[in-house]
Chains A and B, each alone.
Chain A
Amino acid sequence: VIADGRDGGEQAMPPSPAGPAAVTPDAMLLAAGRGEERAFERLYDLLAPRVYGLARRVVRDPAQAEEVAQEVFVEVWRTAARFDPARGSATAWVSTIAHRRAVDRVRSEQAAADRIRRVAEHATERPYDEVIDETMAGLEHQQVRQCVLMLTGLQREAITLAYYRGYSYREVAELLGVALSTVKARMRDGLIRLRDCLGVSVG
């Protein structure tokens, strides 16, 4: 893999109308933590497509995804002072909150019962093929795509189903017909392989 340093496409910045100060998610989140509402608006503009897109993937229903995205941004504003750039990027910080909120929504009690039923009904239909196709088509960034392709089939399926569909590892194990311990292990070693391939480091 050709390492081109940072994942440039992910960090692309819009032209800054405010002046020369760098409008990066990190800088905007730090400023939002000091109560600067303008910085929070910039942060919203930078990350809203990502937050809403992730919520749409996980909860599917557009109205619920919109509610989730709103909850996420309000929580980001509320807790922005707790963001510490030494522990990770603003993009990862916000994405973590967004994914957690979306998963909370989709695993509410009725949804969980329905999903178990669906898992049982569709156990033989491989409904996850569609998720993987969707995901691969969306991975526009060459480096991310290459790294995802380097995963084994099981690593890719386990990560994709959990991340984009909000399935628990138990559900993933049922869907794929593999042992719980195998799913846990593939989620971890798959993410580690992705991390190494993308050259991600923290701190």
Chain B
Amino acid sequence: MSQPLDIHTLAGAYTLDALDDLERASFDRHLAGCPACALEVAELRETVARLTGAATEPPPARLRANVLSEVAGTRQVGPGKAGRPVRARPIRWRVWTAGAVAAGVLAAGAAVTTYLVQDRRVRQAERIQTVLTAPDAVTRTAPARGGGQVSMVLSPARDAAVVVLAGLTAPDSAHAYQLWLIDGGGATSAGVLRAGQADGARYLTGVRGADQFGVTLEPAGGSARPSAPSLATLPLR
């Protein structure tokens, strides 16, 4: 995905935790096969750790007791192969790149949605990334009736889109937002969010044949066809 010549220059931003998760994952893969880069990162980490000396501050006294009591009940992991820090939690994939892409496509300062997708696999994230970085990617945004907004990064060349719902009214546990691709023949379901879910990002394919994208509120689990007019629509052409 990233050009091999370019990836080297990410070492600084990587050390400073200034990459987004997708770039971070691709740099991690690069590091695994590049001992010189791994050494550079180790040295830059030492360098940056010297800077933390500038930020010391005594913590509240209770923190010590809290840490020690939690540690007393925490099992340790074995040495493992890698001698570098291993994160306790799975990487959380943020499609906040969508925000960055949108910011570039729209005028700077436009409201940008971000969304946190937990525990997604790298492949899923990369699929989304192919849309966000497509040369023909365009961004569309519409306010949703009842609040919030629906944004889309659309790549006709890849026949795919990433849809981001942000700040919509939270449905009750018996209802869910459903996504639709609409053409002359009617609406086809493009996925249903979880019941009660008000924010989300979805990867859609088969957008080329459709004229419009729409979102409706449906009974949990979704409907065969929209039971109400769309809360927001976006043109696909």
A binds B: yes
A79 x B56 contact (CB < 8 A): no
B228 in the interface (beta carbon within 8 A): no
Please determine whether B12 and A54 come into contact, CB atoms closer than 8 angstroms.
Answer: no
Q: Are A95 and B52 touching (Cβ within 8 A)? A: yes
Contacts of B15 in A (CB 8 A): 187, 191
Bound form: Cα–Cα A183–B14 in Å: 12
CB distance A99 to B59 under 8 Å?
no
B48 within 8 A of A: yes
Contact with A along B85-124 (1 / 0, CB 8 A): 1111000101010011001000011011111100000000
Task: Tell me whether A95 and B49 are in contact (CB under 8 A).
Answer: yes
Q: B96: which of A33, A112, A135 is its contact (CB, 8 Å)?
A: A112
**Of B12, B46, B77, B80, which contacts A189 at CB under 8 A?**
B12
Q: Note all chain A residues with C-beta closer than 8 A to B12.
A: 159, 184-192
A82 touches B84 (CB 8 A): yes
Closest to B24 in A: A100
Of the candidates B20, B56, B109, which one forms a contact with A168 in the assembled complex, judged by CB atoms under 8 Å apart?
A: B20
Residue-wise interface mask of A (91-106) relative to B, using a CB-CB cutoff of 8 A (1 in contact, 0 not): 1110111111001100
Residue of A nearest to B114 (CB): A112
A117: chain B residues at CB < 8 Å are 111
The interface size of chain B toward A, counting residues with CB under 8 Å, comes to: 69
CB pair A104 B16 closer than 8 Å: no
Is B17 in contact with A99, judged by CB distance below 8 angstroms?
Answer: yes
Q: Bound state CA distance, A197 and B72, in angstroms?
A: 41
Are B47 and A198 interface neighbours, CB within 8 A?
A: yes
Is B103 touching A77 in the complex (CB atoms < 8 A)?
A: no
Interface string of B33-45 (1 = CB under 8 A from A): 0000001001111
Q: Which of B49-88 contact A (CB under 8 A)?
A: 49-60, 63-64, 66-68, 70-72, 74-80, 82-88
Given A79-B86, A79-B88, A82-B85, A87–B42 Cβ distance below 8 Å? Answer: yes
User: B44 near A74 (CB under 8 angstroms)?
Assistant: no
Interface: A129 (CB within 8 A): no
Q: Are A108 and B116 in contact (CB under 8 A)?
A: yes
A contact face: mostly helix, strand, loop, or mixed: helix
Within the complex, the shortest CB–CB distance from A64 to chain B, in Å, comes to 13
Q: Which of B1-27 contact A (CB under 8 A)?
A: 9-13, 15-20
B56 touches A50 (CB 8 A): yes
Number of chain A interface residues as a range: 35 or more
**Is the CB–CB distance between A69 and B45 below 8 Å?**
no
Contact A163 B94, beta carbon cutoff 8 Å: no
Contacts A52-B57, A53-B57, A185-B9; A88 near B45 (Cβ below 8 A): yes
Contact A202 B39 (CB under 8 A): yes
Residues of B within 8 A of A53 (CB): 52, 55-57
Residues of chain B contacted by A82 (CB below 8 angstroms) = 77, 79-80, 82-86
Q: Are B71 and A77 in contact (CB under 8 A)?
A: yes
Choice from A51, A109, A159 contacting B16 with Cβ under 8 Å: A159
A98 CA to B51 CA in the complex, in Å? 13
**B9 with A188: CB separation less than 8 A:** yes
- If A35-B76, A116-B114 touch, does A40 touch B71 (CB 8 Å cutoff)? yes
**Contacts A49-B59, A53-B56, A79-B88; A37 near B17 (Cβ below 8 A):** no
A74–B71 touching, CB < 8 Å: yes
List residues of B whose CB falls within 8 A of some A CB: 9-13, 15-20, 39, 42-60, 63-64, 66-68, 70-72, 74-80, 82-88, 92, 94, 96, 99-100, 103, 108-109, 111-116, 166, 199
Q: What are 15 pairs between A and B in contact, CB < 8 Å?
A: A44-B67, A49-B58, A51-B59, A53-B56, A78-B88, A87-B42, A91-B49, A116-B114, A159-B12, A163-B48, A181-B9, A185-B9, A189-B12, A194-B51, A202-B46
